Amino acid sequence: MIIDCHGHYTTAPGAHQKFRDAQIAALKDPTAPAAKPGAISDDEIRETIEKNQLRLQQQRGSDLTLFSPRASAMGHHLGTEAISSAWTRANNDLIKRVVDLYPENFVGVCQLPQSPGVPIAHSVAELERCVRELDFVGCNLNPDPSGGHWTSAPLTDRHWYPFYEKLVELDVPAMIHVSASCNPNFHATGAHYINADTTAFMQFIEGDLFGDFPTLRFIIPHGGGAVPYHWGRYRGLADMLKRPALEEHVMKNVFFDTCVYHQPGIDLLVRVIDIGNILFGSEMVGAVRGIDPHTGHYFDDTRRYIDALSLAAAEKQRIYEKNARRVFPRLDALLKARGL
């Protein structure tokens, strides 16, 4: 079984974006009535999924995608907490509808109603709703709701603890995933995403978060940002900061996905990072949608890179399935209940 731990609904029906556009337009016109989610039919959902993520899932031979709202559209920096909450709820409800239409192909992961300067504790209720009522198995946590201005406290700060307590209680992991950038220095998918991944990892080295939360689990997407390429730097910095070795200090709790869009990158990832810390992911249809002229295949068809590794089948199965079932225990329970 092949589980893709990183997929977003980047192809949601037009009415969904229309709702968002109306929300944003209303920010400039306080007399406008509050925007409301428009009607979306099951057929519209089917069309956007079957032509895109489901088609590619089948073409590429993966079985199930952990599916969350479009990351770049979370836009936590836009508007107020109320705006973020309404948009988040609409997004998560839409994911739930996808999952209900294709329960064998998609399992839900939620967006959070974060907003700059708002305590993360305010996101606990939506997490709980998504996990307990909608059967979602994880969430995307934005370490920078300001969208590229980085005005929040580091992820190791006690500010975030009420949320971590709930993650631990529910036994769900968080993928650390920023959204769009409103800082012109940072291209969203080419700089902000990768920088956030790198930043989060270094915060974990500096702090002792997993001393306080030994069972807390994070996925750092996009192959861990710059971290595996600079693994020597991070091992060396941990040493200079008098922290334990990374295997003990961070890597019992942090996992990297395989959203690295060329063979040499994936080769490096499995060379330096323990197989137990690598989860298959593609983020399709996502940041990079084209075909690599060097290979003739989609850049984000990451299964090809894993298949090409000279690893034993059992090791590949850890990347494809077993690690995900361990990191997402609610996914494992759900699959076991289906006899899988």
Q: Is 116 in the site for a copy of itself (CB under 8 A)?
A: no
Count how many residues are written for the chain: 340
Q: Is the dihedral of CA 178, 141, 125, 117 positive or negative?
A: negative
Q: Closer to a copy of itself at the Cβ: 45 or 238? A: 238
The verdict on 229 binding a copy of itself (CB under 8 A) reads yes
- Catalytic: which of 126, 283, 315, 321? 283
Task: Give the tokens for residue 201.
Answer: 């990892």
Give the strand pairing for 297-298 and 291-292: antiparallel
Among 178, 202, 279, 319, binds a copy of itself (CB under 8 A): 202
CB of 306 to a copy of itself, least distance (A): 14
Q: Interacting stretch for a copy of itself, rule CB under 8 A, among 12-20, 112-120, 203-211, 312-320?
A: 203-211
Q: Is 230 in the site for a copy of itself (CB under 8 A)?
A: yes
Binding part of the chain for a copy of itself, among 12-20, 78-86, 88-96, 195-203 by CB under 8 A, reads 195-203
Which token pair is 37? 């989610």
Q: From the centroid of its chain, how far is CA 120? A: 17
244 binds a copy of itself (CB under 8 A): no
Q: Which two tokens stand for residue 52?
A: 């895109």
Catalytic residue check, 283: yes
Is 86 within 8 Å of 19 (Cβ atoms)? no
Q: Which of 223, 147, 226, 154 is nearest to 188 (CA)?
A: 147
**Cβ closer to a copy of itself: 207 or 276?**
207
Per CB under 8 A, 232 contacts a copy of itself: yes
Q: Which residues from 253-282 bind a copy of itself, rule CB under 8 A?
A: 260-262, 264-265, 267-268, 271-272
DSSP 191: I
Residue 201 to residues 40, 77, 226, Cα–Cα distance (Å): 39, 23, 10
Which residue matches tokens 């992961």?
Answer: 109
Report the alpha-carbon angle 283-82-134, nearest 5: 50
Binding site for a copy of itself (CB under 8 A): 143-144, 148-150, 152-154, 183-187, 189-191, 194-195, 198-199, 202-203, 205-206, 222-223, 225-226, 228-237, 239-240, 260-262, 264-265, 267-268, 271-272, 287-290, 292, 294, 299-300
Residues carrying an active site annotation: 283
